[in-house]
Amino acid sequence: QVQLQESGPGLVKSSQTLSLTCTVSGSSMSTGIYFWTWIRQPPGKGLEWMGAISDSGTTYYSPSHESRTAISRDKGQFTLQLISVTPEDTAVYYCARDRRIGSTYEMDYWGKGTLVTVST
């Protein structure tokens, strides 16, 4: 079983950089290609895919976020950096593992999420 846990500041000031870390533990024998993914959910809104990084280090970003977003990966963890934040970036941030088998994707493991509030 794989466990993921988000960590980072719960309060960030506008114009600063939000930095979150997802710590990965455990292991899985599942087959497929893995993408380590960040998703967020603003208050009252749906889930919003931000981006991901593959095991090989290739990054993928939502067009809505790519100009301000950087995802990196290291052994046991991966990170999210979101620069120049505004109150509109207030959300619950989740990390997850996306598993690809052929052309099918599945978010098979999720963290619990962490609330980040951006102050004015």
Yes or no: say if 78 and 86 are a contact pair by the CB < 8 Å rule: no
Q: What pLDDT is stored for residue 89 in this prediction? A: 98
Q: How confident is the model at residue 105 (pLDDT cuts 50, 70, 90)?
A: very high
> What is the pLDDT of the chain when averaged over all its residues?
95
Q: What is the per-residue pLDDT across 56-73, written as a single tens digit (0 to 9) for each?
A: 899 999 999 899 999 999
Q: What is the per-residue pLDDT across 35-52, written as a single tens digit (0 to 9) for each?
A: 999 999 999 999 999 999
